[in-house]
Amino acid sequence: MKERHLEILRLVNERERISVKELSRLLTTSMVTIRKDLIELESEGLLQRQHGFAAKVSSDAIDARMTIRYPQKMEIARRAASLVHPGETVMVESGSTCALLAMELATLDDVTVITNSAYIARHMKQIPTGRVILLGGDYDVVSEVTTGPVTRLCAREYHVDKIFVGIDGYTEEGGFTNVNHTRCSTVRDIAGQADRIIVLTTSEKFGKRSVAKMFSEEEVYMVVTDSDLPDHYGEMLRRQDVRLEIVDV
């Protein structure tokens, strides 16, 4: 993604709505160029164009979440992809970094992804080598995920070595947490079919606690995060025998 596009997305996410004129001024770029940028970014679902303005898309939409700290998430996804071997089948849940991971896995030879994310399934099928199994269930049209008892039943048909999951927060007291009870419960159900749980998250999630507990440290095999992770959280996880993969950003 172009550096200018990343900066546009950062400004839109910070302000929620910003004028084309203001973007042109801040980025020292012509309004014609900014309008072309906005058309391209809207076509990818990353923002909404309004008359003379760019606006943030729904905060629960995966495209919106993906644009936040995109460079860090991309490097985390690439590192996570290196943990998957040809011929392997893995589970990938619906987080934004997980979606980037799925796009990386789609380019590998003979790797199959099992997911509850229609977003991941839709984008993987655009890559000729992508192999994906979409779990059924109650469908959330905004976040593009399936949840509930049907998803749980579908997941029980499979067993894999690894599942990759995203989180909304981590604290020593609360463990790994998520903002949504229903989605949290579904992730736990799916993770029950995997030998190893691997958490993908950017470092700013550490020190934040969300509503629903997803996993304790004892349940998590590995965390892949960026080099801005505070040292004391890294030490805390290592004491709990959680492996760490750190990407430089």
- Is the separation of the CB atoms in 102 and 165 below 8 Å? no
pTM for this prediction: 0.81
Which of helix, strand or coil describes residue 246? strand
Mean pLDDT of 184-212: 95
Band the pLDDT of 224: cuts 50, 70, 90: very high
Q: Give the other-Cβ count within 10 Å of 235's Cβ.
A: 10
Go through the domains of the chain in sequence order and give each one's CATH number: 3-57 (1.10.10.10), 66-247 (3.40.50.1360)
Pairing of strands 112-115, 48-50: unpaired
227: left (phi over 0), alpha (psi -120 to 50) or beta: alpha
Band the pLDDT of 63: cuts 50, 70, 90: low
Mean pLDDT of 35-56: 88
- Is the separation of the CB atoms in 175 and 93 below 8 Å? no
pLDDT exceeding 70 applies to what percent of the chain? 96
pLDDT of residue 105: 94
Band the pLDDT of 75: cuts 50, 70, 90: very high
- Is the separation of the CB atoms in 76 and 202 below 8 Å? yes
Model confidence pLDDT, tens digit, residues 151-174: 999 999 999 999 999 999 999 999
Question: Pseudo-torsion of CA 205, 211, 215, 221, nearest 10°?
Answer: -10
CA triple 238-193-198, angle to 5 deg: 30
Element (H, E) at 194: strand 194-200
Band the pLDDT of 6: cuts 50, 70, 90: confident
Mean pLDDT of 230-240: 95
CA triple 50-56-59, angle to 5 deg: 140
